[in-house]
Structure 1
Amino acid sequence: MAKKLVIKVTAGADAPERCSQAFTVAAVAAASGVEVSLWLTGESSWFALPGRAAEFELPHAAPLPDLIEGIRAAGGLITLCTQCAARRGIEEKDLIEGARIAGAQVFVSEAMADGVQALVY
C-alpha cells in the first residue's frame, strides 16, 4: 500500500459527483492511516474558504464539512493551488484552519516522492 496519497480535485459544484468522490476517497484514506495530501484546484478552490463546503449538497453523499474535518483530524494536508487562489482573489488569511496555498512545484514534488500514489478528479 502507498505510504502517501496525493489527490488533486478540480471539480466543485460544477461536477458534484466527481468532487464528492475526491473528498470521500481522501477522508477514507486518511481514516485508514494513509498520509493524505488533498489539492484543491479549479472550482474546488472555493472549499478552502470557511463555510463554503457547507453550501455543497449531493444526495446520498457525506457532507463535505465532515469529510474535510476527517481529513484534518487524521493529519491530512489541504492545499489550494497558487494560481487558482490568485484568480479567485483568495489569500492565505482567508483559508480554513490548517489549509495552505502552494504551487505546481510543490504538487509535483509530493506526487513524485517514493511511495506516493496520485489521483486526479
Structure 2
Amino acid sequence: MANAKKLVIKVTAGADAPERCSQAFTVAAVAVASGVEVSLWLTGESSWFALPGRAAEFELPHAAPLPDLIDGILAGGGMITLCTQCAARRGIEEKDLIEGARIAGAQVFVSEAMADGTQALVY
C-alpha cells in the first residue's frame, strides 16, 4: 500500500479501566482488518496483556474477547509493543511475551508517531 497511513495507538488502561482498554484494542483490530498499518503500544496496566494467558482473564460485557482482538492484530500484520519502563517495573522480559510482541522504549514510540502519514491515539 504505497499511500497507506499508519496508526499508532498507546493504551494505558487495563483491567482498571476496562472500557478504555477494550476500545483501544478494538480500534487497533478494526484498523488492521481495514488494511491500516497499526502499532499498538501497551503501557501502564495494559502491559500485562503482553503476557501469555493474561488477555483471557479480561472480561467486558458486549465487547469482543481481548485474545481474539490480539490475534487479529498480529495476524493482520499489526505490531504490539510493550513499553521498556513498564516492562521493567513489572519484571517482564522479552522472553516472557506473547509471540509477535516486542519491548521498546520512548525513542521508538516517538519515531513511529512522528512518521509521515501517521496518526496517533492514546487510550
TM-score by length of 1: 0.98
Compute the displacement of 1:58 (Å): 0.1
Partner Cα distance (1:104, 1:87) in 2: 15
Flag as ranges the 4+ runs of structure 1 deviating above 2 A. none
Q: Percent same amino acid among aligned pairs?
A: 95
Compute the displacement of 1:75 (Å): 0.2
Partner Cα distance (1:55, 1:111) in 2: 30
Structure 2, unmatched stretches of 5+, are none
TM-score by length of 2: 0.97
Partner Cα distance (1:73, 1:85) in 2: 23
Q: CA RMSD in A?
A: 0.6
Compute the displacement of 1:23 (Å): 0.2
Compute the displacement of 1:88 (Å): 0.0
Compute the displacement of 1:95 (Å): 0.0
Partner Cα distance (2:20, 2:120) in 1: 16
Structure 1, unmatched stretches of 5+, are none
Provide, for residues 48-103 of structure 1, a one-character-per-residue CA deviation record: whole Å limited to 9, x for no partner: 00000000000000000000000001000000000000000000000000100000
Partner Cα distance (1:12, 1:18) in 2: 8
Q: How many residues align?
A: 120
- Report the 3-state secondary structure (helix = DSSP H, G, I; strand = E; otherwise coil) of the residue aligned with 2:9: strand
Compute the displacement of 1:39 (Å): 0.1
Q: Which residue of 1 aligns with 2:17?
A: 15
Q: Which residue of 2 aligns with 1:111?
A: 113
Compute the displacement of 1:17 (Å): 0.1
